[in-house]
Amino acid sequence: MEIIDAQIHEPALPKPLGSQFQDKELELLVNTELAREAMDAIGVDRALINARQPFLDVAVARYPDRFAGCGFLDHRAPNIDEQVAAYRDKPGMLATRTIIDDWRNDVPSDDFAAGKVEPLFAACEKHHLPLFCLTHHAHQLAPVAQKHPDLLLIIDHLGLPQPPPVQRDPDPWQRLPGVISMAKYPNVAIKFSWSADAVAAAVSARRHLASSAQTDRCVRP
């Protein structure tokens, strides 16, 4: 069975290469080999990388059969439609990601509330680019899912607060109903992932969500 990891990040050496190795291209190549070696060590065949664009470009070019990219695009860019089209046409770039919460205050971001992320939603739907949405208020995506039925929305990290960088809720299940409510939209998927402090929450959420949504709309890093 082929194992595909739905999200990895750019690794780094625990100790810098040193002043004699200041070549940025070399750093990207070393980090690419670290990622590939880690995958080989645990039996992962392919991976979707969420990282800075220079690393995505190098990793995908070096191992196009092992890596695909999921970068960031600025929804505020005046030419966001053109950017999404160009990004979708780049070899190996299969998705993008956005954050629609104000983490400090645990509320939807001002831009999302004001509709300023809409151009990104529309462009991703138009150009068939899946969009990972990092939010702890999953239900707020319901109008987006309804308005853009051909846009694949992927709720990041179970849609639940998990450390780091934020604290888990005292009741880790309190936001689960909002996540489960999104299962009725066929263009919404969910990514199962968790930190060591949220294993119990993830296991329970997986059980509830698996009974509420088709398993082919569940991805896991």
Q: Each residue of 75-134: pLDDT tens digit?
A: 999 999 999 999 999 999 999 999 999 988 889 999 999 999 999 999 999 999 999 999
Q: What is the pLDDT of residue 130?
A: 97
Owning domain of residue 53: 1-72
What mean pLDDT, rounded, does the chain reach? 87
Q: What domain count does the chain have?
A: 1
Residue 8 lies in a domain: yes
- Partners of residue 70 on adjacent β-strands: 50, 95
Asked which of 33-37, 140-144, 193-197 is least confident by mean pLDDT, the reply is 193-197
CA distance 170 to 176: 13
pLDDT at 21 over 70: no
Mean pLDDT of 156-163: 83
Residue 144 lies in a domain: no
- Partners of residue 189 on adjacent β-strands: 154
Residue 49 lies in a domain: yes
pLDDT at 16 over 70: yes
Q: What is the pLDDT of residue 158?
A: 81
Residue 62 lies in a domain: yes
Mean pLDDT of 173-189: 90
168: nearest Cα among 143, 144, 138, 199: 199
pTM of the complete model: 0.87
**Tokens found for residue 159:** 């849609």
Look at 169 and 144; give whichever has higher pLDDT.
Answer: 144
Residue 189 lies in a domain: no
CA distance 45 to 3: 5
CA distance 36 to 33: 5
Helix, strand and coil in the chain, % to nearest 5 = 40, 20, 40
User: How sure is the predictor about 159, in pLDDT bands with cuts at 50, 70 and 90?
Assistant: confident
